[in-house]
Each structure stands twice: as C-alpha cells, then as structure tokens.
Structure 1
C-alpha cells in the first residue's frame, strides 16, 4: 500500500489587512461630503423664502436697512393683520380659490376629452392638428390677451369670476392635452370593448372607465394648472381693472405700491399669505406628483 501524505492547509499571510473597513470608511466619507454639499445647496435655495418670512415681520425701514439679517428688532405680526383685513387679502383669497379651482376643473375636463380623441381615434388631419397645438405652445400670453378680452366682453363676462375662469381655462393647454393623449394611446383596446359589450356608450366609457385609469396624468395636470392659475397675473389684471373687488392675490400685490412709496413689509406679509396654500398643496400631493411623472415617463 502506498502511504498518502497529509494535506497541508494553504499558508495565510498574517500581515494582510482586510479591505472591507477601508471601503466602508470611504463610502461613509463620501456620504458625509454629499450630505454637506446638498445641505449647502438647500440652504442657498431656501434662503430667499426665509428672508421673505423675515421681511414680513420687520418694519419698512428694517427690510433693507438690516441687509441680509434675518432676525428683526421686533416681530411685527400686525403686518399680516394689515394685509389680511385692511388691504383686503381675505377677499382676494376667496376670489383666487374660486378662480383657481374653476380653472383646474375646466382644464382637466377639456384636456382629457381632447387627449382621449387624439390618443384613441384616427381621423384625417390628426397630425396637422397636433402640429398646430405645438405651434400655439410657443405663442406668448401677451399676444392672445386682446382677442380673449374682446371675446369675453362680447359674452358680457368681462368683470366676472366666470369670465376669468373661461379666459384661463379655455386656452391651448397643450401640455395637458398631449399628456392625456400619450397616456390614453397606451391603454389596451379591450377595456373599451368590454365596456361596450356591457352596454356602455362613448360618454360612459370615457368618464367611468378611461378617465379614472388616467389618474396619474390627472394628478400632474391638477398640480401644474393649480400653480398656473394661482400665480397668473396678466389676465386677471386686465379682466378686473374696472372691478377691484374681483382681484386675485397676485393682482392684489399692486395695492402696496404707490407713487410716493412702497410698503415692502406689507407686501412681504401678503406674499407669504399667498404662498402658504401653494406650499400646502404641493406638500400634500408631492408624492402623487412624483409618482405620476414617473408613470407618465414609463408609458
């Protein structure tokens, strides 16, 4: 019999150091540096808003007299009371809410209907119509304000909430229409066929089947239209020149500017009041907004 030699374990270099701790340390250092850089960028980004809040609590002489200092000598909460009651921003807030939500509802309904036709139906001149939509996307608002005003005046709606809503919501809104068209085009035809077999007509198919499925696009259009209608200035200014009681928050800012002086602290307080609802809506809907954008991109 031949003897078998015992196997020897491979030699291990006791001086070798594991590389994991070093890699872990580098990863942690990179994370810390990234966090610091992002924190600095966020501080620079949010500083104007913080300065605006600080200016709303200062006196008129302190707003620019103290430079970039954020702490006022005395917190003047009466600036908000002055803007809300004496200047009339409580009434402007009601006007803005009515006009904004009316515009959002009108834009969603008409954009969804137009997008449904463009996305689900083939007809002569479809590409030409889309090209016209894209061309109107680049037309500035100032070029369309005159015909919109004349048309609204002929309808006797110039100094009304409904006139402002129609002026804001009946425009092109090409982005919303194309978002709906692209989303509806990706939905399977079997959805409509099944609904039609159950006896549903075209209107029922749209409102009870197709539109509920398009909630990611509806969320996006809601937020974008809300921001547009809440902050728009030119059209509400023209439509309410002879009716100051119909002013919106954006137009109401002009109250603080006179020929002799400008009430900067009151304007800052009014700006904060007008920004709070926008921030609240975005904070509540930001997750849905991000998800809807991601869903639209995937489509």
Structure 2
C-alpha cells in the first residue's frame, strides 16, 4: 500500500492571478503520528492557527529532484520515472555503438581492480603499473569514441567518472603504497596515498558540476596524475623515499588546486623542437627527464595563474 501524506496548497487562493505568490506562500509543519512514522503536513496562513483543507498525494508520485540536475520538461509521469540510458534515436546500430563505448569504460574499471589485485596479492608492481597505463588509454578512448560515434550520454559521463575514481583515485595510490611501503613506514606512506584518493574524489566531483573549458583544466586531471604515478612505478626512480612521498603529496594537492593547466591537445601544438627535448633527454637519463617534465608541468599552472592575473 502506498504511503500518503497530507499537503496543503502552496499559495493563497485569494491572491490575484499573475501576482507574486512568494509573500503569501504557506508554511508547512510536520506532526509525527502515534506510531512514530510518517506524519501530517499542515499548511496554515501566517498569523492564523486553524488549518486549511488538505489534499492527499501518493508519495510514489513524487519525483526526487537535485539542484545539480535540471527538472525534466513536460508533465511528470504518475508512477515511476523511466529515463533512457541512450538519449535520442534508439536503433540497433546506435545501441551497439553505445555498448562499445561503455565497454571501454568498464574495461578501464576492470583493469583498475586488476591492478589492485596484482599489487596487493601477487606483488607484481610492474604489471600493475601497466594495467594503470591501460586504464588511461581506455579512459581517453571511450570519450573519443562517444563523440565520434555520437552516442555521448549523461549515463556514460557518470560511468566514466565512477570508473576514474576506481582506477585513478583508488588503484593508483594502492599500487604506489605497495611500492613505497617497502622503503618507508606505512605511517608515512599511507596518509600520502590516501590523500591521492581524497583529492581525486573532490577533483572528479568538482569536474562534474563545473562548466567546461576547452583550453585549460582547473587543477591537474586525475588521469594525468595516475599516468605519472604509474610511469614512476615502472621506471622505479632511485630518489630518496622522502622525496617520492613529497611528490605524491604534491600531485594530490595539484588535483584540487584552481591553477589552470593546459590540455594535452594544446601541448601538442608547441614548436617541434620543444617536443623533441624530452625525447632527446630520455636517451641521456630517462628518470631525470621524466622528473623534469612532470615538475615543469606542475609549475606551469601557477605561472599561468600569475600571468592571467596580471593581464586582468
């Protein structure tokens, strides 16, 4: 049996049509029933104590709303809300393309979980790091395919965000923690790696509700941080463990910063000689070159922020 609640009219019926109804909006009070569940919502005019006539409404007919999601246009169905996962024309071809795109997202999720298993149970950190790099590849592939195949959807965006949290916000710091815990006490490495998970969750949630900029990221994206951590595990830098922990903390804080970071597509437009420098440096000392490139990118955010502030 559907539960019912008593609600009164929201506005004063005596108000002339077309006028602002906010000053005459009624106040609602909820009185708890004898059984301790449910209650009665009583509407009354300001300054009066007697209740007005009440109307019963089925709770199953009420649609939950969120300030981050706009209300759907048109009439609301009377029982349940069936939101299609794939908006637009739902042909067999589009459904297959939709399944392929979300299959890439799910594969990224599975690879992230596999990286956790490999690091914690098998101790194979190299293979775990390669799984994380594969996650980065499939994370970029699903978005590109969704736009190319014209099957982008809110469902796919949310799936991508959840998969990123698993692969980049949880799997990556777990693999790094297993690497560093053999060289330092867990009391030092665990908080640093946990900070990566916390900042990744904040970064992804902020990205979902923020307007998109085609030129810059606000903070370093989780995908790039996970890629840096995975490559760091692969090349196994011989830097002191204290410096490695500090680098992990710096990467975590960079995700939640408000500094503008250039997107990869714009970096590829740099002069060819600039892009060739890291390639040449990798033949000389790939570990040092990797550290210099990462540090230069992290510092580019504050530099751009100061430059834009001076221009404003």
Which TM bucket (shorter chain)?
A: under 0.3
Determine which structure has greater relative contact order: mean sequence separation of CA pairs < 8 Å that are 6+ residues apart, divided by chain length. Answer: 1
Q: Which has the higher strand share?
A: 2
Bigger radius of gyration: 1
Q: Which has the higher helix share?
A: 1
TM-score with structure 1 setting the length: 0.25
